Structure 1
Amino acid sequence: MRRRPLRSRPVQCLAIVIVIVLGLASRKYPQALPAVLGKWPGDALWAWMMFLMVGFLRPAWSTAAVAALAAAICFAVEFSQLIRTPWLVALRDTTLGHLVLGSGFHASDLLAYLVGIALGVAFESMWRARLGRRR
């Protein structure tokens, strides 16, 4: 027996687009955010996008399972930045490669990823609570 999806794919898709736009804007217009945040908003939004993408691909999974896989992917991508093979460095030197794979390992990014995933969990929980009140 298949479980009923917890997430709507059209809603997930819209949320992914919104978070991508916010993430790109955070990098293009960093002056719009407090300088002390540096590039962390973009990193947090990238992790939130990953949370949404995992939820899109696995709509029946629990929020905890989606968050765990999203964190594992984010951490794996960050640690992969320690690998400096020429072809991977060349890929990261492209715009898309840099946006997806990053460029250099920073342990502080791991915290930003956890914050982004926590935001995803919080918004998903609020969304579900709001839907529950309307039914």
Structure 2
Amino acid sequence: MNKRNRHVYFILIIIVVIMGLMSRKLDSIPPFLKTYLPDTLWGLMVFFLMGFIFNKYSTLKITIYSLIFSYCIEISQLYHGEFIDSIRGTTLGGLVLGFGFLWSDLICYSVGILIGYLLDKYYMYKRGGKI
């Protein structure tokens, strides 16, 4: 049975969060990366978070859960009620829930999750079923 090391996944989550926050703050990165890298890293972070929570599930299940979660968050941005917008108005709420729906975000999330899938498959194979 595949089992992921939660300590490793926790560290990966922290690293990706830091990289995502830095990618929003650095002015020296190319405009294309500044536009799309944060959302791609958000998708990767969601994959690692799902791997942390569901550490015994298959890589495919984690990928599907990550895509469903990410897409639901993006679709929720079409709704702008007073309560949800007040949560989005906080720093953490804005980072987690976002502000406005963009098709490009769905692509970025998918790419980030695909990167997580490929890394997970590679290391699960390399380590004989354990990360």
1:100 maps to which of 79, 96, 100: 96
1:56 maps to which of 28, 52, 56: 52
1:21 aligns with 2:27: no
Between the aligned partners of 1:70 and 1:21, the Cα distance in structure 2 is 20
Q: Runs of 5+ in structure 1 lacking a partner? A: none
Deviation of 1:5 (Å) = 4.3
Q: What's the counterpart of residue 40 of structure 1?
A: 36
Q: What's the counterpart of residue 87 of structure 1?
A: 83
Q: What's the counterpart of residue 61 of structure 2?
A: 65
1:9 aligns with 2:6: yes
Between the aligned partners of 2:83 and 2:106, the Cα distance in structure 1 is 24
Q: Deviations over 1:25-69 (max 9, x none)?
A: 11111x232212343111011111111111111111110100000
2:123 maps to which of 116, 124, 127: 127
Range 18-27 or range 33-42, more displaced: 33-42
Q: TM-score, normalised by structure 1?
A: 0.89
What is the RMSD computed on CA atoms of the aligned residues? 1.3
The percent of aligned pairs where both chains have the same amino acid is 36
**Higher RCO by CA contacts (8 Å cutoff, separation 6 or greater):** 2
Residue identity in the other structure for 1:85: G
Deviation of 1:103 (Å) = 0.5
Between the aligned partners of 1:33 and 1:112, the Cα distance in structure 2 is 17
Q: Deviations over 1:58-101 (max 9, x none)?
A: 11111010000000000000000000101111111111110000
Between the aligned partners of 2:31 and 2:11, the Cα distance in structure 1 is 29
2:71 maps to which of 43, 56, 75: 75
Q: Deviations over 1:90-123 (max 9, x none)?
A: 1111111100000111111000000000110111
Q: TM-score, normalised by structure 2?
A: 0.91
Deviation of 1:127 (Å) = 1.9
Bigger radius of gyration: 1
Between the aligned partners of 2:107 and 2:10, the Cα distance in structure 1 is 25
Between the aligned partners of 2:121 and 2:28, the Cα distance in structure 1 is 28
